Amino acid sequence: MARKSSSDSGGFLFKTGIFAVLAGVAFWLFNQFSGKKTDEPANTNTSTEMPAKTEQPAEQASVSKVPENILPASTTGEVVRHTWFTLSYNEDHEQAEWVAYELTRDRLNENWAERPNTFRPDPEVRTESATPRDYTGSGYDKGHLCPAADMAFNETAIDESFFMSNISPQVPAFNVGIWRELEELTRDWARKFNHLYVVTGPIFSVKELGQIGFSKVTVPGAYYKVLYAPDQQKAIAFMLPNSLSERPVMDYACSIDQVEKRAGLDFFPSLLKGLDEELEGSLDEDAWPIDRKRYEERLKTWNRK
């Protein structure tokens, strides 16, 4: 038998080496892509859930503590719920058509939180609220609908009362005069009756006083305040012109029905039903005592002419 030459032997060894390398590469590729990795332990957790987030759940400032059954019907569909008051925003007028909240004796007896005076746009208003700059140089006050003093029992409450959605342009002599007196009387009545449901807002059907600012904020011709004492089954409402007044507050008292017709709203639809509807059409001024000294103080010092 003929002997193989050295070149034949070298070629055989070369081919054998190539085959071995290719086999090794194939084995490595099989381990990499055939399922579980051979160098990692089997995963016994078959769940596909993502790791639990460490974020705090749902305790948000926007979780409202205002009873839903005290809210009027909204004509705009944009109801904004803050922690201690709820409002219906009217984009056409860049302010709330109503603000509703509960006022209690216990809250009024709390130590008052510091007044922040940080007026700012309301981030919860989908269509964007007015801004403080709209009032700059206008000659009108940033008048609270839900008073800061009614929210002073809690830092969050009073802070949220400075959202511009809760603000409306008021004649200064009105804001610091008869409007202030009515707000203070409302707190008197809340202490007397233990708690009140309060709804406040502008009246756009009365001749408006123009518009202010880049946002074209309507200056209302009048305002209303509707009060309901559920424990005593008493109700009263007020409509006041946005101007200086030297008349007694009770000159502006009226029934809830009258405000509903003028403002185009339905107050306490979930509460004043059946026999209770009589409260909407009645007015008993004697059930709501007033402090005559406060009226005299308004005439002497609060009214600015």
Q: Give the CATH number for residue 202.
A: 3.40.570.10
In a domain, 33, yes or no: no
pLDDT of amino acid 19? 52
State how far the Cα of 305 lies from the Cα of 302, in Å rounded to an integer.
Answer: 10
In a domain, 57, yes or no: no
Does 144 participate in catalysis according to the annotation? yes
CB-CB contact of 211 with 135 (8 Å): no
In a domain, 35, yes or no: no
In a domain, 100, yes or no: yes
pLDDT of amino acid 24? 55
In a domain, 212, yes or no: yes
pLDDT of amino acid 273? 75
Choosing from 82, 93, 144, 195, the catalytic residue is 144
In a domain, 62, yes or no: no
pTM, two decimals, is 0.78
Total of domains in the chain: 1
Residue 109 tokens, joined: 């007896």
In a domain, 28, yes or no: no
Q: Which domain holds residue 296?
A: 68-302
pLDDT in tens, the chain (305 residues): 443 444 444 444 444 455 554 555 454 444 444 433 333 333 333 333 333 333 333 334 458 899 999 999 999 999 999 999 999 999 999 999 999 999 999 999 999 999 988 999 999 999 999 999 999 999 999 999 999 999 999 999 999 999 999 999 999 999 999 999 999 999 999 999 999 999 999 999 888 999 999 999 999 999 999 999 999 999 999 999 999 999 999 999 999 999 999 999 999 998 887 656 677 888 889 999 999 999 999 999 998 65
State how far the Cα of 155 lies from the Cα of 118, in Å rounded to an integer.
Answer: 13
- Taking residue 206's Cβ as centre, other Cβ atoms within 10 Å add up to 17
DSSP string, 55-68: S--S--TTS--S-G
pLDDT of amino acid 22? 58
In a domain, 213, yes or no: yes
3-state secondary structure of 145: coil
